[in-house]
Amino acid sequence: MHTMFQIISEQFTNFKIIRRMAKFGDRATYQSHYLGLAWEVLNPLIQIGIYYLVFGVALKRGDPMPGVPYLPWMVVGITPWLYMDRSVLDASKSVYQEVGLASKMKFPVSILPSIKIVGNLASFWTMLAFSVFLMLVNHIYPSASWIQFIYYFICMIALLYALGIFNSTVTVLIRDWQITLQSILRMLFYMSGVLFNFATSNFPVLLIRVLELNPFYYVINGMRESLLNKGWVWQEPNLTISIVFWMFVFIMMAVGTFLHNKFRANFVDLI
């Protein structure tokens, strides 16, 4: 427990370094591209266009929520998914790729996943602004429930760091884990309610209850219900699912920080 709180405190103590390294990483990634950082927005927009044509037009999904057209519903959900998907994969590679840099610059290795998570926020905020624009166009206006977005954003960051500290350590110990993680995320994409609403898709009730325990679904559905004015976090079954979500985050954080602390002195040798 002490190790977990120590590593969490390192994130706050070194937040300026995290921000500076995140900005540097964004520029370095696209410095040889003509469109530069514009690809941070173009890539998700292209994916959104493809998914909308397939699921919103070709398969005629209809309105997944009463009074909410498919396009804004999908975009509000796919925005956090694209951010979480990319951040989980980037954070899982962070220690393996950058541990040498951390040893030279003398900052804690534990902030490497945070650098990736913060670095991807620029595209998230841009896509979120696009989501709000689509909602306004479709006559979905701000309400008191929007304040819940702050809570679900905190949930998302906590989940990403818990997974990041765990996956980044396991990736160093087991190189096959990176490939396995990619396959898991592909599967979770369809199990997180990004493209269709479980409740309106004739899924068995028991299966819906199981799928709702997915922590990615919790974040995506929570942001949707907040921004689309469809629910509150303390209502059932959201309250029960909230407890399960935070238990998952706590377990992943505890296990991840334990492994990280145990092997951090040997990362360079293991790589």
Q: What is the pLDDT of residue 205?
A: 84
Residue 163's pLDDT is what?
A: 97
> Counting Cβ atoms within 10 Å, is residue 211 exposed (0-12), middle (13-18) or buried (19+)?
middle
- Tell me how far CA of residue 235 lies from CA of 198, 221, 227, 230, in angstroms: 18, 13, 16, 11
How high is the pLDDT of residue 114? Answer: 95
Q: What is the average pLDDT score of the chain? A: 84
Distance separating alpha carbons of residues 116 and 20, to the nearest angstrom: 11
101's tokens: 């840099």
pTM: 0.88
Please give the structure tokens belonging to residue 81: 């998914």
Alpha helices in the chain (DSSP H): 2-13, 15-30, 39-51, 70-105, 112-119, 121-137, 148-173, 177-191, 205-211, 215-227, 238-263, 267-270
The predicted structure's pLDDT at residue 203 = 77
Q: List the structure tokens of 6.
A: 């120590």
Cβ atoms of 169 and 256 closer than 8 Å: yes
The pLDDT value given to residue 113: 94
> Rounded to an integer, what is the distance from CA 76 to the centroid of its chain?
13
Q: What is the pLDDT of residues 121-173, one digit of tens each?
A: 988 998 898 889 888 988 888 888 899 999 999 999 999 999 999 999 999 99
Q: In the prediction, which pLDDT does 56 show?
A: 55
Low-confidence ranges of the chain (pLDDT < 70): 25-42, 50-63, 100-104, 230-238, 268-271
For residue 236, give the amino acid letter: E
Give the HSE-up count for residue 191: Cα atoms under 13 Å, Cβ half-sphere. 15
